[in-house]
Amino acid sequence: MKAFHCEVLHTHTHTKARVTRVTTSHGDFITPVFMPVGTRAGVNNMTPAELMAAGSQIILGGNTYHMLCAPGMEVIKQAGGMHSFMGWHGPMLTDSGGFQVFSLSKNKEICVIDEEGAHFSLPGSHRLIHMTPEMSLETQKIIGADIIMAFDQCTPDQCSREEVQHIMTRTHRWLQQSVDYHQQHPTSFYGASQALFGIIQGGIYEDLRRESADFVTSMDTDGIAIGGETIGFDMAATIEVIRWVRSFLPETKPRYTMGVGMSPQDLIDVVAEGIDMFDCVAPTRNARHGALYCGEVVDEGGWLSFCSEHENARIQIKKASYAHDLSPIMDSCNCYTCAHFSRAFLHQLFKQKSNSYTALASIHNVHVLHDVCAKMRKKIIG
């Protein structure tokens, strides 16, 4: 089994952007890289073959919380891990369940977070779960992803400084517990190499973000993630946070902004700041609701920009103006959908609430983000 490794191949002359090669037990991937999200053991409306054809190198497959809910760890074990279970045999990252716990904890009757972890009951059952850092890591080792995440508490934007500091301190303690467990159990349940990433918190406070970055990088994890509700949700604040912590980020480790990818431009913006990896549910969710990415990657002042005449760089395929439009979604796009189908056809499928529409739309949106990454890699290499 290959050990996890990150090698910087190229750096951009005008920005902080870089190209790296990351080696995992299930193959290499080249950054900058977007990871489609398969929270429940499958990227919505896309098969593994379609993901690969669209340009996917690595996916976020199988969220820890959702996999505990269904189908449960026994089924995953019997299948030989998440790769075999979902039929994806390339690199895979999974997350710790921390964001889902954060969402659940908004209702104290469903989930309560304390210093030890999170207490919640699995939906549709009477089974009570006490999610600790150790349990999260154990679950991720059964899932068998190539990259696993330390258990953290996602920091809400609407939080007092005192609360943010408390969450950050708790996350640091949980990171230490995660590292200790990973050192005692360095491979997956199936004996494959796994990389552990730590997560920087600290909310919207510069000094706390820097303190968190200093602590997380001192733990010598395999990669560094930047988390919190603001990351990917508020892009101006996301860029500011990256700049606050960038000097702490090791050159030889992957850098991952969690939840970035609402629009193609978001990827371009974080890569210019030195970020390598990102994930988001938006491409498939937008596709499902009729929002299809449409624009052009253009060279602008030594770097790139995603230019579009459409609001949020998307067309709304439900609009009557597309009912007779026989052009593809994007003239320059070479995805399967644009190569074979028109806006008028997709408009018709959407109106029919056809499953075929959702699949074809998801293929396009995911392909666009991968194509943006490919163009960034080409620009960085020069």
List, by residue number, the catalytic residues: 95, 279
CB atoms within 10 A of CB 320: 8
User: Could you tell me if 152 and 199 are in contact, meaning their C-beta atoms sit under 8 angstroms apart?
Assistant: yes
What 3-state DSSP class applies to 128? strand
Question: What ranges in 185-272 are assigned the alpha helix state H?
Answer: 206-218, 235-245, 264-272
Q: Which of 276, 277, 159 is nearest to 208 (CA)?
A: 159
In our burial notation (b when 16+ CB lie closer than 10 A, e otherwise), range 29-54 reads bbbbbbbbbbbbbbbbbbebebbeeb
The three-state secondary structure class of 170 is helix
Beta carbons within 10 angstroms of residue 238's beta carbon: 23
154 CB-near residues (< 8 Å, 6+ apart): 98, 99, 101, 102, 201, 227, 228, 229
Residue whose structure tokens are 């449960």: 72
Please tell me the total number of residues recorded for the chain in this structure: 382
- Other beta carbons less than 10 A from residue 341's beta carbon: 19
* Cβ neighbours of 298 (radius 10 Å): 10
Q: Which residues pair with 350 in a beta bridge?
A: none
Helix 206-218 crosses helix 235-245 at what angle (to 10 degrees)?
Answer: 50
